[in-house]
Amino acid sequence: MTPEEFKKRCKGIVPVQYCPFTKKGELDINGLRQNTQFLVDYAKGGKDLVIMTNGSTTEFYANSIEEQKTVIKEVVEVAGGKVPVVAGTSQAGTKETIEMAKYAEGVGVDCAMVVLPYYHTPTTEGMYQHYRKIAESVKIGVMVYNNPDVSGSLIGPALMKKLSKIGNVVAVKDNTPIIDDYFLNSASINPEDMVLLNGRGEIQYVASAAYGFRYKGFVTWVGNFAPARSYAVYEAVKEKNFEKAEALLENLLPLFRVLGEFMSKRETVSIIPSAYRTNYMYMSVGKACMDLTGLSGGPLKLPMENLSTEEKGELRRVLEETGII
């Protein structure tokens, strides 16, 4: 898929996959393929759905390079060109990121997602050159993953607009918590240059889409096990029916509330300001939801924390209450 073709199909819901592991911490390949096929089957009939894999939620950082490559290859094989696949290719350095992006391109990924350089925070020019070099190294599209929590940095609208002018930098997974940036990105970035995706899920998507409907979709963890719930929110916004979208979000409130309860029990050691950071218990909840809905979740790898048996029981009751199971 060319970068131009990907831009046209980069919309709708974008489930960022979990990576199922065995109790021994090994890749559960069959589970990964099952999860991927579930999303491919849901997308039948022309639904706007893009699969995202080997991202933060996929615990790419906890997998070896070979395990990351296996995840990417297996997902592309199951997707079989039926739905676009975005694969995270991020490494701490530019050279290593290029090597992973080339691998992803070679096995048929449609777009390489690259988080802002982590460990050492670059200057503005260093950030620009990082993405320019990666984009020049491949013929597929490149997606900027604008996430301050995992990188300690944030690309503002001015630099994002400049990046959008790089030929095959075609999209952004935008995790900015700054509502002004949603408006400024919508107002200043030519949609012919870059597709805007909200990276923070259903709730923030509804808000960002209001700015000229320039945000074309959103990344979701809920969409992995309840894609119909996520897709209904997307369709309501597409219809410009914000009252319906709000009602659909309210239907998911029990799930979001129990997540909030689990978060509040656990202290974070992050020094990133609270507005810019993520509590990663959503990964523990999401993986448990995968198991409870008959898909494959399995445990998280350290240093991430799994839910307790009691919490899994509480989560089951919430999924039953909301009709997800």
Q: Which residues have a catalytic role annotated? A: 145, 173
Token pair 């945000």: residue? 215
Amino acid at 2: T
153-173 burial, b at 16+ Cβ within 10 Å, e below that, comes to bbbebebbbbbbebebbbbbb
Q: Is the dihedral of CA 269, 275, 281, 287 positive or negative?
A: negative
CB 185 within 8 A of CB 214: yes
> Which helix (DSSP H) or strand (DSSP E) does residue 215 occupy?
strand 215-220
d(CA 296, CA 65): 22
Instruction: Assign 274 to helix, strand or coil.
Output: helix
Longest dimension (CA), the chain: 51
Closest CA to 143 of 204, 187, 189, 101: 101
- Cis before residue 303, ω within 30 degrees of 0? yes
Q: Do the Cβ atoms of 122 and 250 come closer than 8 Å?
A: no
Encoded amino acid at 30, one letter: N
CB 115 within 8 A of CB 56: yes
Q: How far apart are the C-alpha atoms of 257 and 270, rounded to whole Å?
A: 22
Which amino acid, residue 259? L
